[in-house]
Amino acid sequence: MIFPANHPQLLSGNEMTQLIKDEIRTKEVLEWKGIHLLHFSNSSCSQKTRIFLNLKGIEWVSHPVNLATDENYSDWFLGINPRALVPVLVDDGEVHIESNDILKYLEKKFPEPSLIPNESIELISTLLNEEDDLHIDMRNISFRFLFGNKARKKKTSSIEKLEEDSGTIQGKEDSHKIKELTFFKDFNEEGITDEAVIQSVSKFKKLYDNFESNLSKQPYLLGVQISLLDIAWFIYTHRLFLSGYPFKKLHPKVLEWYKHLLNKKEFSKEVKEPIILKAMRSATRVQDKIAGTVLSKISNL
Ligand SMILES: N[C@@H](CCC(=O)N[C@@H](CS)C(=O)NCC(=O)O)C(=O)O
């Protein structure tokens, strides 16, 4: 597959998720020059964005936002993303949110090396929407099996703050915010239930069955060359792998592809697990083993 360098069909700037200048309440970012990324070390969408930046060799300024202390609910952060989510890209004072839109924007600005092949733009956009639609499913798995069902409880004050925030996106009240609020309210109340795990895992399994057949014919998800789709799915696969999803048994080709990507430094350095998270994951795994509630058992895989 040939990957041309220019992308005339990529979305134009105003079709992407970019805040209008007047919507940016944290005015200091208007003065920032160059590429700045607001991100969190262990956030999957931030990891995806950082791997993309690494592969492109783009220079960027790092602004860590600590999700563990709800820093994303500060007035400062809500002033650049009223959804209270990372990552956020600031490029010469312009504010872009939504990781897949950020990456499409960067692809257009930095076409080499190509990570969105011209002939696959529509396909990639569709598949990236599918990936984004699974974000809450990914959260269900991560929160249940990696962070433990109690560890990421959201402060009521943070939930109320997001509920009351009046920030808009592209001139409109944000319809996505309700999804975030619902997730965290439900999570605070009952954690991630077995039922939620079963449903989320079955969605992933269906997609991995397709990937398994693609990857038995070609090295990367879209062909012979690495693309943004590989980066996006590498991150999900990494999370599922650490959560105990049985790749070896169900999707050996996917496992091979994942390990091949993990061997690349641009990938491995972004998913390095901090000791504290590794300890939380191990403790969760031990408890699950004792209770007979590991992922494969709950999901009957
Ligand atoms: N669709 C969004 C999802 C972003 C998202 O959910 N980010 C998570 C981290 S991966 C976040 O900021 N969560 C806030 C929290 O946990 O408080 C994107 O692709 O950028």
Predicted confidence (pLDDT) per residue in 35-53, tens digit: 999 999 999 999 999 999 9
The residue type of 67 is L
Residue nearest to atom 10 of ligand 1 (CA): 43
**71: alpha, beta or left? (left if phi > 0; alpha if psi -120 to 50):** alpha
The residue type of 17 is T
Whether residue 232 has its Cβ less than 6 Å from ligand 1: no
Q: What is the pTM of this model?
A: 0.94
CA 87 to ligand 1: nearest atom: 20
Cis peptide before 113 (omega within 30 of 0): yes
Q: Where in the chain are all domains bearing CATH 1.20.1050.10?
A: 124-149+192-298
Question: How does residue 15 score in pLDDT terms, banded at 50, 70 and 90?
Answer: low
Tokens of 44: 């999957």
- 246-293 pLDDT, tens digit per residue, is 999 999 999 999 999 999 999 999 999 989 889 989 998 999 999 999
Residue 64 Cα to ligand 1 middle (Å): 14
Question: How does residue 109 score in pLDDT terms, banded at 50, 70 and 90?
Answer: very high
Q: Where in the chain are all domains bearing CATH 3.40.30.10?
A: 13-118
What is the number of helices (H) and of strands (E) in the chain?
Answer: 14, 6
Task: Mention the CATH class of domain 124-149+192-298.
Answer: mainly alpha
Whether residue 85 has its Cβ less than 6 Å from ligand 1: yes
Whether residue 88 has its Cβ less than 6 Å from ligand 1: no
Place domain 13-118 in its CATH homologous superfamily. Glutaredoxin (3.40.30.10)
Give the pLDDT mean for 82-101: 97
Give the pLDDT mean for 186-206: 96
